């Protein structure tokens, strides 16, 4: 038994350098697509080169908006070419057309998360940093024929299935309405806000919360009222009205965009950090002894975007002691950890970091 512990300890210690100084996260947040440019120049080649440069500035401005940056304090157009070059990872041309001395295109730019955050931190610019767990959208369409969820036709469900998403702080999951979805929650349960049914579908999709969004057409407009059921922050109710559009599908598509924008704005406000606020926290990490939870914790910590540096102070088969440098306050840090299924708790002697138990989602 002792030999096994010695071997396991050596195995774990060999991984102590596996925690990088800065966390990585999904690329969607720092990828800006649908950047349209239309530039004229002395030649088509000149116009193309100028378009790529202007597109980069435009894309970075769009990224700053997404991160909730006050652009009166940091203007992307005034950033140097060197700074923008350092934060850009790549770009691609999605569509393009040319005429003599003119270049038109739709572009996608991908920025480097760590370099963007460091640029903002170096200028003491506040920004949002944490991507939330996905939100399950349960879209109920209410017409004179009555409410419907999984039954066809449901143009509100169709609008959400066509919603692009993928680039923002609040990813959405839209169930197709398969047999398991129907078993999890019915139209009646969704309308009544049945907690057990909502919890069932949230847990199965490994999400963090759900919204029941009810769309109702009226006199050339669409009214949407929705309730977000969230274990962390409780229930919140919101609404949008869309009264401009050529037809109902167009208005429903706009309603999905507005609902998503409201979710994004609320999350940005909640997670916006003061870039100059940096703290260090010593954490005790209980381990099971076989090493599996340690490597899972390492992987999840790499995805916490507010972490600046992590140091392993000590490591044994049954516990690790970490020092973590992070930006923001401790509550924001706890929230960022929770989005990666890591629980920060106050232990008897020091704060403890644990993996959240599978199936621990629940609603008050």
SS3 of the chain: CHHHHHHHHHHHHCCHHHCCCCCCCCHHHHEEEEEEEEEECCCHHHHHHHHHHHHHHHHHHHHHHHCCCCCCCCCHHHCCHHHHHHHEEEEEEEEEEEECCEEEEEEEEEECHHHHHHHHHHCCCCEECCCCCCEEEEEEEEECCEEECCCCCCHHHHHHHCCCCCCCCCCEECCCCCHHHHHHCCHHHHHHCCHHHHHHHHHHCCCCEEEEEEEEEECCEEEEEEEEEECCCCCEEEEEEECCCCCHHHHHHHHHHHHHHHHHHHHHHHHEECCCCEEEEEEEEECCCCCHHHHHHHHHHCCCCCEEEEEEEEECCCEEEEEEEEECCHHHHHHHHHCCCEEEEECCCCEEEEECCCCCCCCC
The more confidently predicted of residues 351 and 4 is 351
130: in domain:
no
As a whole number, mean pLDDT of residues 353-359 equals 75
- Give residue 15's pLDDT: 44
User: 61 and 50 share a domain?
Assistant: yes
User: 230 and 151 share a domain?
Assistant: yes
361: in domain:
no
User: 287 and 309 share a domain?
Assistant: yes
Out of 65-74, 88-97, 180-189, 196-205, pick the least confident: 65-74
Instruction: Give 94-137 pLDDT, tens digit per residue.
Output: 999 999 999 999 999 999 988 898 888 888 888 887 889 999 99
User: 167 and 196 share a domain?
Assistant: yes
User: 196 and 77 share a domain?
Assistant: no
CATH of the domain at 161: 3.40.50
Instruction: Give 238-263 pLDDT, tens digit per residue.
Output: 999 999 877 999 999 999 999 999 99
User: 185 and 146 share a domain?
Assistant: yes
262: in domain:
yes
As a whole number, mean pLDDT of residues 7-14 equals 39
- Its domain, for residue 184, covers 135-272
Instruction: Give 15-29 pLDDT, tens digit per residue.
Output: 444 343 222 333 478
Structure confidence at residue 157 as a pLDDT band (50, 70, 90): very high
243: in domain:
yes
User: 16 and 88 share a domain?
Assistant: no
**Domain finish residue from 100, 125, 150:** 125
- Give residue 289's pLDDT: 75
- Give residue 166's pLDDT: 67
Structure confidence at residue 5 as a pLDDT band (50, 70, 90): very low
Structure confidence at residue 269 as a pLDDT band (50, 70, 90): confident
323: in domain:
yes
Instruction: Give 280-338 pLDDT, tens digit per residue.
Output: 999 999 998 777 888 899 999 988 888 888 999 999 988 999 999 998 888 889 999 99
364: in domain:
no
Domains of the chain: total: 3
């Amino acid at each position: 038994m002792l030999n096994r512990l010695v071997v396991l300890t050596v195995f774990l210690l060999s991984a102590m350098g596996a925690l990088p100084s800065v966390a990585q996260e999904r690329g969607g947040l720092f990828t800006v697509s649908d950047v349209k440019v239309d530039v004229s120049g002395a030649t088509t080649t000149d116009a193309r080169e100028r378009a790529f440069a202007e597109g980069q500035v435009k894309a970075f401005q769009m990224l700053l908006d997404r991160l909730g940056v006050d652009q009166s304090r940091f203007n992307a157009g005034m950033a140097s070419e060197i700074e923008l070059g350092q934060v850009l990872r790549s770009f691609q041309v999605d569509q393009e057309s040319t005429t003599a001395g003119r270049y038109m295109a739709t572009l996608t730019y991908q920025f480097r998360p760590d370099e963007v955050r460091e640029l903002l931190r170096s200028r003491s610019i506040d920004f949002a940093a944490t991507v939330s767990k996905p939100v399950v959208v349960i879209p109920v369409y209410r017409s004179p024929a009555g409410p419907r969820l999984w039954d066809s036709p449901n143009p509100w469900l169709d609008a959400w299935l066509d919603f692009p998403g993928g680039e923002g702080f609040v990813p959405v999951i839209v169930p197709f309405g398969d047999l398991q979805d129907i078993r999890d929650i019915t139209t009646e349960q969704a309308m009544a806000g049945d907690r057990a049914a909502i919890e069932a579908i949230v847990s199965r999709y490994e999400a963090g919360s759900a919204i029941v969004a009810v769309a109702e057409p009226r006199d050339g407009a669409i009214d949407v009222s929705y309730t977000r059921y969230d274990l962390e922050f409780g229930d919140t109710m919101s609404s949008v009205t869309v009264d401009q559009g050529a037809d109902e599908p167009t208005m429903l598509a706009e309603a999905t965009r507005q609902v998503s924008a409201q979710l994004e704005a609320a999350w940005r406000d909640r997670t916006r950090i003061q870039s100059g606020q940096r703290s260090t926290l010593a954490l005790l990490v209980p381990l099971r002894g076989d090493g599996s939870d340690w490597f899972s914790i390492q992987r999840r910590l790499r995805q916490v975007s507010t972490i600046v540096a992590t140091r392993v102070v000590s490591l044994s088969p049954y516990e690790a002691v970490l020092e973590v440098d992070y930006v923001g306050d401790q509550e924001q840090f706890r929230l960022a950890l929770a989005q990666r299924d890591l629980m920060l708790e106050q232990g008897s002697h020091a704060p403890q970091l644990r993996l959240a138990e599978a199936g621990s989602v629940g609603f008050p």
